Amino acid sequence: MPDREPNLITSSLSREVSRDGVSVRVEIYRLEDRPGWSLEVVNDKGTSMVWDEQFDTDDGADAAFLETVAAEGMIVFLDSATVIPFRR
């Protein structure tokens, strides 16, 4: 019998955040068999920003989101209007 996939645990700190005219969905989650929490922020266009590091607690992940907003503003989660084409 094959092993089952682990369940995804979503933190109660996951939520919608709107500030400065920008709305995002903050997703904080982990796999049930792993200790580290992941942080993902999804904007209204469906573009997500995922932190490379894992956090010991869901509070730590939420603090990283809040620190990013304080340092860079909500604008950091918007899609960039600048497209840099690859050279051919």
Residue 1 covered by a domain:
no
For residue 3, what pLDDT is reported? 80
Residue 85 covered by a domain:
no
Q: For every one of its 88 residues, what pLDDT tens digit does the chain have, with 9 covering 90 and above?
A: 568 889 999 999 999 999 989 999 999 999 999 999 999 999 998 999 999 999 999 999 999 999 999 999 999 998 764 444 555 5
Residue 18 covered by a domain:
yes
Q: How many domains does the chain have?
A: 1
Q: What is the span of the domain harbouring residue 60?
A: 8-77
Neighbours of 82 (CB within 10 A): 5
Residue 13 covered by a domain:
yes
0.85 cut: is pTM over it? no
Cα(12)–Cα(33) distance, integer angstroms:
18
Residue 84 covered by a domain:
no
Residue 3 covered by a domain:
no
Residue 82 covered by a domain:
no
Backbone angles phi, psi at 38, to 5 degrees: -105, 150
For residue 1, what pLDDT is reported? 55
Residue 53 covered by a domain:
yes
